[in-house]
Structure 1
Amino acid sequence: MFQQFTRAAAGVILFACGGLSITSCYAGETSDITTPAGEDAIGRSTRAALQGNGKLAASVLQGLPRNHFAGKDIVYRRCMLQRFHAKAKPPARPEVGDPFVSDVLGLYQTYWWHALMSPSDRDTYGRQLQRDLSTLLGEPNPIDDWNVLDERVARELRARGYYSQLGNTPPLRELMVWRKQDSSQREVQLPERTYPVKLEVLNDFVTRGWSAYARCDRGSNGGWATDERLFAVGPAFPQGLDSEAFRTSLLGHETQHFADLQQFPTLQPWELEYRAKLTELWMSRDSLHFLLGKFNSDQGDDQQVPHLFANKRVMRDLQAYLTANGVRCSREDLFDVAPDQLRAAAVEVLNRDTRVREYAASLAGTRPAKPGQ
């Protein structure tokens, strides 16, 4: 699911599940069904938002009349047009119960809004955020090292009873803040082996990050992995922690990251996403077509948006493998391929990728660590 990678002081963080929708009920909205044109506009809008372009995300929706949308899609359209229309203003400082937390969130939302409205100037707004956060911390001069700055902000938030994740989730700086966190141990079966992982489930969020803000909370990142444990965003899984969505798109996806970070620590963000998405497909049953549909519709050519770039590579390589092995697949979304054949192909493409990387490491005179070492 997408496009999120950050190097923070605590280690390498990989976000996933940005395409997950949070199911909600909206009183007073029509129960009619969104038209195909409306669904297409919603898809193009969310893709633009996830690539860091809020103005484009809103303009796509503006170009189609309201009567093409229904239910939660009307709510999404209304919010996006209000937040990112051409004459919109930066958001007001939010009130979340603690002045420091309110100030931090206000600075980030202002930065997100400006960067989403003017993507070409996002670096400028990032430097302004750096200056503003340094001032908030009482520093006379900007803290130039983002790792140091993030650590300082996180420490202040924790002292006030809030957990947080900061860093860089391309293409924007990240801030996630929550109040509750529960720990457990899980055993996750990957294509190559069973992997034990520590899991933290996060709830009671103040903010679920820029990708949620950019889509008016239509969806959010589902979790991430460090070199020590997995983190799961509880509200991203309304069907619960026993659902297939949680098992595949959080546990499977992030545990594959966890294993790959040990075996292939120099992988690029999109390469890590590529391998994790193949694992998702191998693990999926009821959600197989949903994942294929998302991977097929949410594609991109920019490596700085890792999830969308990885989606394109996954669909391309699966189709090439199936065709080379005599499996007829005329649809771009691969819906015409038998599920067992599709899952088997996902494993073979993943294993081939592993062999290529192990061979490249041997030629370079390095030896990748085996999972679990």
Structure 2
Amino acid sequence: MKPTLLSTLCSLSLAATTAGALAATAAAPADSGPQAAQAVNQAKGDTLRADMPSALKALKAAPVAQFNAKDAAFRSCMLKRHDRSGAPAPVEPDGGLSDPMVRALLASYQRYWWRSLRDVSVRPAAEKQLKTELAGLLGEAPPAEGEEAFDALNERLDAELGKRGVHAQLGRTPPLYDLLLWRAQEQRDYVVDLPGGARQPVRVFLMDDWISRGWIHYGICGAGGAGGWANADGVFAVRANYGDLQGEDYRVSLLGHESQHYADQQRWPDMLSWQLEYRAKLVELAQADQTRDTLLGKFYRSRDDNPDHPHPYSNKRVLSDVATQLGLGADADLRMADPAAVRRAAAEVLAEDTRRREADGHGAAPAKAKAAPSR
């Protein structure tokens, strides 16, 4: 598979806890207090920006008594996993993996994620160590400098994992290198309606039986992660995130979002990650109805001025540009605007972005066929 990873974040929900954390918070109120609720949102947003020190600071600053059972379990997991000054990086349980190579691969990535989330200054050294360890799993010398050599190593790792019955997506979910591993997938074909009347044929792979859900899922203690991505093979979706596959979250936030990625990657293969996310999030906002408030809430919670953080950066751009299109201030709250007007404005902003790309000479013809899945 193509090594570049373009993920779309799923909705945030706590997936795991401990008996001790629940027992300690049995008397907590049904809803967390305002400071605790804000701290949880802040910590999740900071983690999506790969800023663990800020996430831990927010969780420690809120009064412990304000956290309800679910949020207290999240806080406990985050502190136990990431607040370990002077301690070695924790390696999470491997789920009973019997294959020593897959176990070692997962452990290498978890150590790298833990170090890189804690301290941005160590990331170059952590990346170098990761590449050395991954090459060692194949009995190779460390790869040469540069992304091209690492991409080639990832291709060989992907082939080796395939022999062991494991599907993989390797590459970078900015700003960190990522590892998604799963054992089962089902293929379905769709034709997806996109804004402006385009109809995009797309192949979807529904993934199950997970080994690793990536650095965001690891960093945020299972409370968020990649819901799907698109590459030359088609669209990949985490089945467990989308219930019966009939809801708007699947039709819009997965199929719509990722089909726009797929179409854009075919037409403009050199588009930057934040630009891909910007256009796909405009599709979501142009089509969302029942999930509109949840979607906007997610955008508002995670905003950033750094284009190297493509999701929060594109969130901020989408909110500002749609508000401007509506004749509002760039910092207006779109949750207070007319829903139909917001949908129209998002479609208009997307159409204008397309016209600008075509006028700039970037409108190459779409590819005629999709590459077949390698496994």
Say whether the fold is shared (TM-score over 0.5). yes
**Residue type of the alignment partner of 2:365:** A
Q: Counterparts of 1:76 and 1:20 in 2: how far apart (Å)?
A: 11
- What letter is aligned with 1:204? D
Q: Of 307, 310, 314, which aligns to 1:306?
A: 310
Residues 244 and 287 in structure 1, CA contact (< 8 A), matched pair in contact too: yes
Alignment of 1:210-229 (within 5 A): 210-229=215-234
- Label 1:106 to 1:11 Cα distance change in 2 as closer, same or farther (>3 A): closer
Mean Cα deviation higher: 86-95 or 38-47: 86-95
Alpha-carbon distance between aligned partners in 2 of 1:330 and 1:92, rounded to the nearest angstrom: 43
Q: Secondary structure at the match of 2:204?
A: strand
Q: Which residue of 2 aligns with 1:14?
A: 6
- By how many angstroms is 1:300 displaced? 0.1
Which residue is 1:349 aligned to? 349
Aligned-residue offset at 1:161? 1.2
Q: Are the aligned partners of 1:93 and 1:102 in contact in 2 as well (CA < 8 Å)? A: no
Taking the TM superposition and a 5 Å limit, the aligned residue runs for 1:201-350 are 201-237=206-242, 239-323=243-327, 332-350=332-350
d(CA) in 2 for partners of 1:330, 1:175: 36
CA shift for structure 1 position 68 = 1.6
Compute the displacement of 1:36 (Å): 1.9
**Does 2:173 align with 1:186?**
no
Q: CA RMSD in A?
A: 2.1
- Give the Cα–Cα distance (whole angstroms) in 1 for the partners of residues 17 and 107 of structure 2: 27
Deviation larger for 277-286 or 333-342: 333-342
Is this contact kept in 2: 1:94–1:105, CA < 8 A?
A: no
Deviations 1:140-168 (A, max 9, x none): x2123111211122222221111111111
Identify the residue that residue 63 of structure 2 maps to in structure 1: 65
| Superposed CA offset, 1:320-339 (max 9, x none) | 1101xxxx679732122111
Distance in 1 of aligned mates of 2:118 and 2:233 = 36
Query: Structure 2: how far apart are the matches of 1:340 and 1:255?
Result: 22
Q: Displacement of 1:24 after TM fit?
A: 7.0
Deviation at 1:55, TM superposition (A): 2.8
Q: Does the aligned pair in 2 maintain the 1:163–1:179 contact within 8 Å?
A: yes
The CA deviation at 1:86 is: 4.3
Deviation at 1:33, TM superposition (A): 0.5
Is the alpha carbon distance of 1:18 and 1:121 closer, same or farther for their aligned partners in structure 2, counting shifts above 3 Å? Answer: farther
Structure 1 residues 227 and 293 mapped into 2: Cα distance closer, same or farther (>3 Å)?
same
Q: Does 1:89 align with 2:88?
A: yes
Cα distance in 2 for partners of 1:334, 1:93 equals 40
Partner of 1:150: 154
> What amino acid is the match of 2:233?
E
CA contact under 8 A between 1:20 and 1:236: conserved in structure 2? Answer: no
CA–CA distance in structure 2, aligned partners of residues 209 and 41 of structure 1: 23
Do 1:260 and 1:371's aligned partners in 2 also have CA atoms closer than 8 Å? no
SS in 2 for 1:275: helix
Q: Secondary structure at the match of 1:222?
A: strand
Structure 1 residue 89 displacement after superposition: 2.9
Question: Which amino acid in the other structure matches residue 54 of structure 2?
Answer: L
Change (3 A) 1:42 1:372: farther
* One-letter amino acid of the structure 1 residue matched with residue 158 of structure 2: A
Contact 2:228 2:235 in 1 (8 A): yes
Distance (Å, rounded) in 1 between the aligned partners of 2:206 and 2:33: 36
CA 1:11–1:359: 2 relative to 1, 3 Å: farther
Measured in 2, the distance between the counterparts of 1:216 and 1:317 equals: 33
1:197 to 192, 199, 202: 202
Q: Deviation of residue 176 (structure 1)?
A: 0.6
Cα distance in structure 1, aligned partners of 2:127 and 2:18? 35
Deviation at 1:371, TM superposition (A): 8.0
2:195 aligned counterpart, secondary structure: coil
Instruction: Give the structure 1 partner of residue 45 of structure 2.
Output: 47
TM-score normalised by structure 1 residue count: 0.89
> For the residues of structure 1 that align with 2:69 and 2:244, how far apart are their CA atoms?
23
Query: Does the Cα contact within 8 Å between 1:21 and 1:220 map onto a contact in 2?
Result: no
Deviation at 1:35, TM superposition (A): 1.5
Aligned pair count reads 355
Mapped partners of 1:371, 1:321: distance in 2:
32
Task: Mark the CA change 1:371 to 1:336 in structure 2 (over 3 Å): closer, same or farther.
Answer: farther
> Which whole-Å CA distance do the structure 1 matches of 2:280 and 2:329 have between them?
23
- Separation in 2, partners of 1:25, 1:117: 22
What is the deviation of 1:370? Answer: 5.2
Question: Contact 2:53 / 2:118 at 8 angstroms: preserved in 1?
Answer: yes
* Percent identical residues: 37
CA–CA separation in structure 2 for the residues paired with 1:184 and 1:353: 30
Q: Secondary structure at the match of 2:6?
A: strand
| Distance verdict in 2 for CA 1:357–1:85, change over 3 Å | same
1:177 aligns to 2:181 (yes or no): yes
How far, CA to CA, are the matches of 2:366 and 2:168 in structure 1?
Answer: 32
